[in-house]
């Protein structure tokens, strides 16, 4: 089979460790295989990055395992082309029972150009997505808090929502502060 990438690597990603297989096609047709295991701590991932740079690896493949691939991808993406592979496309192959065999198989497929990668947006778009998702979460949490406050007020027989459109608006807050201050006159 035709070798597409003479120097490539594959990373089998787990929660606490990554197993890396580097394949280097030699002039005589043989393939040199280097395998290492690294922790997923930042210092170890930086050591992995240095090791891959020392091996002149610019093509890399990894399985998208849960959320564990994010930090690995973020630290290794600069100056490399990373193919992120759906693990379901890899599971159908029998006989691979160890992490080392998984990384070797992934590297072999990459070396021959047989992997189809997932779409990963550029870093600025990923950052924007994170911010938008975080904002959405904050808005939902605020709505939950407002609903909880309204329920507590209703449970105390205070019908604030009947007289104020927004119970946390300027007039709604003023009414709540007056109630906390001891005001009992509904007209006030």
What tokens appear for 102 in the block?
């998984």
The C-alpha atoms of residue 59 and residue 84 are separated, in whole angstroms, by: 11
Coil, strand or helix: which one is 175?
helix
pTM of the model: 0.70
The C-alpha atoms of residue 52 and residue 76 are separated, in whole angstroms, by: 9
The predicted structure's pLDDT at residue 183: 77
What tokens appear for 134 in the block?
């975080």
pLDDT digits (tens, 9 = 90+) for 132-177: 999 999 999 999 999 999 999 888 888 887 788 788 888 888 888 8
Domains of the chain listed by start with CATH number: 7-120 (3.30.420.10), 124-180 (no CATH)
- Which of 14, 64, 10 has the alpha carbon at shortest distance from 39? 14
The predicted structure's pLDDT at residue 158: 83
pLDDT digits (tens, 9 = 90+) for 70-92: 999 999 999 999 999 987 766 65
The C-alpha atoms of residue 131 and residue 136 are separated, in whole angstroms, by: 9
The predicted structure's pLDDT at residue 36: 95
pLDDT band at 188 (very low <50, low <70, confident <90, very high): low
Percentage above 90 pLDDT, the chain: 49
The predicted structure's pLDDT at residue 96: 57
32 DSSP β-pair partners: 24
Neighbours of 16 (CB within 10 A): 8
């Amino acid at each position: 089979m035709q070798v597409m990438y003479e120097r490539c690597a594959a990373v089998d990603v787990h929660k606490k460790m990554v197993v890396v297989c580097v394949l280097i096609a030699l002039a005589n047709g043989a393939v040199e295989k280097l395998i290492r295991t690294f922790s997923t701590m930042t210092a170890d991932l930086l050591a992995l990055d240095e090791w891959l740079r020392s091996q002149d690896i610019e093509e890399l493949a990894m399985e998208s395992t849960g959320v564990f691939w994010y930090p690995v991808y973020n630290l290794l993406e600069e100056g490399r082309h990373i193919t992120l592979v759906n693990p379901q496309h890899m599971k159908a192959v029998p006989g691979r029972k160890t992490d080392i065999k998984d990384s070797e198989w992934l590297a072999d497929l990459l070396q021959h150009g047989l992997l189809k990668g997932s779409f990963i947006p550029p870093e600025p778009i990923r950052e924007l997505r994170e911010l938008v998702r975080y904002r959405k979460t904050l808005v939902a949490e605020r709505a939950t808090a407002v609903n909880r406050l309204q329920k507590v007020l209703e449970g105390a027989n205070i019908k604030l929502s009947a007289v104020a459109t927004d119970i946390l608006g300027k007039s709604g807050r003023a009414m709540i502060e007056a109630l906390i201050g001891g005001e009992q006159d509904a007209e006030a």
